Structure 1
Amino acid sequence: MSHSTILKIVLGNIDGQAVEAYRLSAGGTSIEVMTFGAILTRLTRPDRTGKIDDIVLGYDDPADYVTKPGNSGAICGRHSNRMADGRFVLDGRPYDLPRNNGAHHLHGGMPGFGKRFWSAHPHPENNSVEFRLHSPDGDQGYPGALDASTTYRLSEEGTLSITMRATSDRTTVVNLIYHGYWNLGGHRSGSVEGQMLRIAADRYTPVTPDKIPTGEIVAVAGTPFDFTTAKPIGRDIAAAWPGGGYDHNLCHTDFDGTMRLSAEAHDPASGRALSIRSNQPGVQLYTANHFADAPTPGKGGALYQRYAGFALETQNFPNAPNVPAFPSSVLRPGEIYEHRMDIAFSTVAL
């Protein structure tokens, strides 16, 4: 790719610190990413008629990312998703973490990585911005001084690559995720129940009423979690959980640590489509259920309500440090944690 122009702006401030944002474009995709939370705040794509719209949920005022629920667009860690009882045992030693989700730990604590400032390092030569964060030994109860980075890159074809890396000076556990919400009809277009989704996962991890994995890995066949063939997101949503909504980890078929198809989605009305490839064993499908109880004003005066977006969080399995049968999330000194996801965009005909 030739040397690209990356526009730097200041969006506002949080607690007196300026929030910088960087805008990149290529291949019909334009993005905006900011230093707070390494958050992807905007992503625009044309529909089948050429109409451009923003297809990620978010907020105009960066301070809203602090106070409003859902971790919209953030990079979450140190260990994302839920950790049972806010504790884990590593090499025979127990570690206690903040219990910020009832009796359990969620998305790295208070604050997790999605609620902190990262330093920005633009790379115009390959149309990318790298964000870096240092997490000291003992941060939120986790062992080891961790250096994390997240790089957003746009290819000439408009594919968005998100690469999350980490190293530690002590043995620790890591599970970084991108926690964005998609609405392929446009972020203000309402419920995503009619949008089509296919997930390359033939199993899932059932959960307790607190949404902690039971430790089982079972087939999706015959359950609301069967997305092996594309179906509307809303077809079985009422049966997925009491009161409706998905918030579940699905296990990718034939995972071997290489880049493989994770999911595909498209909006029949607009024609916008995406496909996600990743090197992670699972993906959390979450349908932004929190907006049902708390409708929330978003960008441009939009009101985000029930099922306003869907998240596809490629990841290791929730509570992995406490379940020996799950893939390991242990990171040892000298190793490099690398979570890659490539998101390609297109349009489909009527």
Structure 2
Amino acid sequence: MKKGPFFAVILFITLCVIQCKEVEKKKLGKKSKVFKSMIKEGDFSAIVDGEKVSLYRLKNKNGVEAVFTNYGQCLVSLHIPDKNGNFSDVVLGLSNIKEYVGPKGGFFGATIGRYGNRIANGSFTLNGEKYSLVKNNGENHLHGGEKGFNAVVWTANVIGEDEVEFTRVSPDMEEGYPGNLSVFVNYRLTSDNELVIKYSATTDKTTHVNLTHHSFFNLKGEGEGDVMDHVLTLNSEEFTALNKNQIPTGEIIKVKDTPFDFTSPKVIGEDINKNHEQLVIGNGYDHNFIVKEFPTNKNGIPFAAKVEEPESGRIMEVYTNEPGMQLYTSNFLDGSVIGKSGKPYLKRGAVCLETQHYPDSPNHPEFPSTILNPGETYSSICIYKFLVKE
């Protein structure tokens, strides 16, 4: 029987389908296996500051699950498959709401605001008026103060199986910041295994805003040792230098020929203990890197970072429209915090990649501005995309 053009077309289409399936397999891993989440609803059902606290689960078609609590918008767990389809929870977190509210709650998986990172001497001047903020990091203001966005209850709006939005009005002079700030944070778990975080905010008085997400990632699984063997790439050639109080000096340092050069893939632990002034100040990496504007993803969002864990094959890419990103290697974990699986969280047991404006921008007019005026809308996006390497 003669095989004509029609047969050739069918063969071509079949080969294309097979190729597409192979590409998808590389992106998402082998067939995912069923897992049972250890996070229980009852452990997160409570009344905090007169507001109801609950859990919110997002799932996509690949079986990936992200679990949030509306207390601080904390990402409590994030189950991602490895190259063999086995799921692990890749974010550090605690087992119940009492621990998050307690002294060891910290910033695990939380939304940070009104201002992520440090503000020198807990103060800034805006439109000729000096504002004094709560000092909770020595003489500095850190991550929004003693009761920042990580330590308040948010109103949740479930949009779908894969999407939730949290809202809140931060009242005028909360933690010292001017203006009633209306904040919206949307989380969506896409079919491409992306956790997309979109922030927006408006104010009725000129203020400063710098929101970020503070998950502690270990791609081997939470509590599975340290991340010094993770391979990191940063789309950055510069970082902001710090003084001994971890406040930017205003100097921008080139990463070339320093331990801060991650322009090519490098194991996180390779240079972390070198005798470099900036590493001594941060007790490791705890620095803001300036994100280059290119390359971008298909939607024009700049690529910021890539983390690879060799054994599991898990890969995490970070994309953002923010000018900076804080690399923090969990230098102050010490094993005293016991995680949700009963394992101690060790020094350098996770890596944080916090997309942001620069630290202390309110006191550095040469830095990209964090000022938000009435009639304007603050807008920021952060994408954590998960893949596997065969």
TM-score under structure 2 length normalisation: 0.84
Residues 256 and 188 from structure 1, CA distance in 2 versus in 1: closer, same or farther, beyond 3 angstroms? closer
CA distance in 1, matches of 2:269, 2:236: 18
CA distance in 2, matches of 1:198, 1:65: 31
> Which one of 45, 50, 57 corresponds to residue 12 of structure 1?
45
> Which one of 306, 316, 328 corresponds to residue 274 of structure 1?
316
CA distance in 2, matches of 1:347, 1:31: 18
Q: How does 1:62-81 map to 2 (within 5 A)?
A: 62-66=97-101, 67-68=103-104, 70-81=106-117
Q: Contact conserved, 1:69 with 1:290, CA < 8 A, in 2?
A: no
Does residue 44 (structure 1) correspond to residue 79 (structure 2)? The answer is: yes
Alpha-carbon distance, 1:28 to partner: 3.9
CA distance in 1, matches of 2:301, 2:229: 28
In structure 2, what is the equivalent of residue 34 of structure 1? 69
In structure 1, what is the equivalent of residue 20 of structure 2? none
Query: Percent identical across equivalent pairs?
Result: 41
Query: Bigger radius of gyration, 1 or 2?
Result: 2
Q: Contact conserved, 1:9 with 1:22, CA < 8 A, in 2?
A: no
Q: Contact conserved, 2:218 with 2:224, CA < 8 A, in 1?
A: yes
- For structure 1, list consecutive stretches of 5 or more residues without a partner in the other structure: 1-7
Higher strand share: 1
In structure 2, what is the equivalent of residue 327 of structure 1? 368
In structure 1, what is the equivalent of residue 56 of structure 2? 22
Q: Contact conserved, 1:28 with 1:158, CA < 8 A, in 2?
A: no
In structure 2, what is the equivalent of residue 209 of structure 1? 244
Higher helix share: 2
In structure 1, what is the equivalent of residue 132 of structure 2? 96
In structure 2, what is the equivalent of residue 3 of structure 1? none
> Which one of 285, 289, 298 corresponds to residue 246 of structure 1?
285
The SS at the match of 2:121 is helix
Alpha-carbon distance, 1:215 to partner: 0.8
| Greater Cα shift, 12-21 or 58-67 | 12-21
Q: Which one-letter code corresponds to 1:280 in the other structure? A: E
Q: Contact conserved, 1:296 with 1:304, CA < 8 A, in 2?
A: yes
CA distance in 1, matches of 2:187, 2:53: 17
In structure 1, what is the equivalent of residue 307 of structure 2? 265
Q: What do you get for the CA RMSD once the two structures are aligned?
A: 1.9
TM-score under structure 1 length normalisation: 0.93
| Greater Cα shift, 68-77 or 15-24 | 15-24
Paired residue total: 340
Does residue 290 (structure 1) correspond to residue 332 (structure 2)? The answer is: yes
Residue deviations 1:169-227 (CA, integer Å, cap 9, x gap) = 11110000101110000012110000011110110001011100101112111122111
Residues 307 and 113 from structure 1, CA distance in 2 versus in 1: closer, same or farther, beyond 3 angstroms? same
Q: Which one-letter code corresponds to 2:53 in the other structure? A: V
In structure 1, what is the equivalent of residue 342 of structure 2? 301
